[in-house]
Amino acid sequence: MKKITTYLLTGLFLFAAVGLNAQASQDCTIKYNLFKGDVNTKKYEQSKENLNYLMTNCPKLSVNIYIYGAKTADNLKDAALYKKVYETRIANFPEKGVAKAHSDYATFLDDNNLGSEDEIFSLLEKAYKADPKDMGVKNIFKYFKGIVSRYKDSDPQKVFDTYDDVMESVEEKLDDYNKKISKLMAKDSLGTIDAKGKRLLKAYTTNSKALGLIEGGLDADISEIATCERLIPIFSRDFEANKTNGVWLRRGVSRLYNKECDTDPLFEKMAKAYADVTQSADAFNFIAGVLERNGDKSGAASMRKKAFELETDPNKKARLKLREAQGTRNSSRARALAYEALKYNPNMGKAYLFIASLYAKSANSCGDDEFEKRMVYVAALNKAEKAQRVDPGCGAGRYISSYRGNVPSKKLIFTKGVAAGSAHKIGCWIGETVRVPNN
């Protein structure tokens, strides 16, 4: 009888506990829905009571508590609340969207002048280590600037490594946006794009442009320290320890090439090691450049062919062709190679920008008077504007501004006696017909 009584009491307690838990769960759900409704209707002050209840009593109910909570704190400019939202989220969801959480909190502190430079950098560093792809575009740039200011003298290799990591992440994002924009632009040109597609096209274009600015900003920042005088001693020092490290070799060879340090014997040494270790198309393409510089044109052509046939990704094939174009001294041949690159990636803005730069460099030699020379910039401008349309993240803006500033003025057009909007054939190797500007 005593055992039966004990079982009955235990059962009653369990039943009561389950009931209380169920009631608590129901209360949490009700509070959550009320809270979410207030945030969505921008009743931020009203939403605070339920937000605090949820963080105290149901902190693991949903990560959306903290996503909406951050929105509430941000709109109210409530630093104490934002800190509580951030810290409670990290404690209860340490692996779910943590990079964005760190990044967003850093933005809040920075925008409202509430955190020290070191505190904000620490948050950005946590975000970067968690997943740089989830960081805001401005914060990626800000984090890199922090790395540069802290390590440019004491540990330049850390700056280079961070730059490479960030640029690879940016490049991945740009490639992804490029593909999405290309598909949506095709639908837009056919008139088959829907309202959702238009919204996505606008968003992808905006994000791509922002990333393009970041890419340019990163290049500008690192150019101060990534000089041949700095790079060669560092890579020479570290070569033995990294001569079988494919990632280190790829990054080092690329940096030496991009900074025009490829005439130094170290470049050839690293390029050969890169090819031996990875047997990759990218490595063989660098070797082709070495062979050509050494006078072995036949060997260079054979190596480029090998590299190109080995590569299967159309975007990477396009990059190989563009790199070959950039290393070609003959302008007409360089343009032809850039157009070959565009066959594999029609939305490769950098190929159009390269052609535009070839035109701009020929301005003084492709005209008999000022008008004809300035019309060459019209051709360059057309290519830069094409780059901007097909690839918003390629950084075409500064090229467009430069070329637009050099096209013929209204006065020069009038003096020349030609009509605005009329066709004009550019001579020499360019051989393109463009329209006289309306200005």
pLDDT in tens, 34-54: 999 999 999 999 999 999 999
pLDDT number for residue 246: 95
> What number is the average pLDDT over the span 382-386?
97
pLDDT tier at 138, thresholds 50, 70, 90:
confident
CA distances from 153 to 60, 158, 218, 225, 251 (A): 45, 10, 17, 9, 20
pLDDT tier at 133, thresholds 50, 70, 90:
confident
Strand 433-435 relative to strand 423-425: parallel, antiparallel, unpaired?
Answer: antiparallel
Q: Which residue has the higher pLDDT, 220 or 54?
A: 54
Question: 428, 362 in Cβ contact below 8 A?
Answer: yes
Residues 289 and 328: their CA atoms lie apart, in Å, by 10
Q: Which of 305, 268, 275, 308 is nearest to 290 (CA)?
A: 268
Question: 273, 243 in Cβ contact below 8 A?
Answer: yes
> What number is the average pLDDT over the span 99-103?
93
Polymer length of the chain: 439
pLDDT number for residue 9: 43
Q: What are phi and psi of 261, to 5 degrees?
A: -100, 15
pLDDT number for residue 10: 47
pLDDT tens, residue by residue, 338-380: 999 999 999 999 999 999 999 999 999 998 899 999 999 999 9
> What number is the average pLDDT over the span 429-438?
94
pLDDT number for residue 23: 55
Please state the domain extents for the chain.
347-438
pLDDT number for residue 349: 95
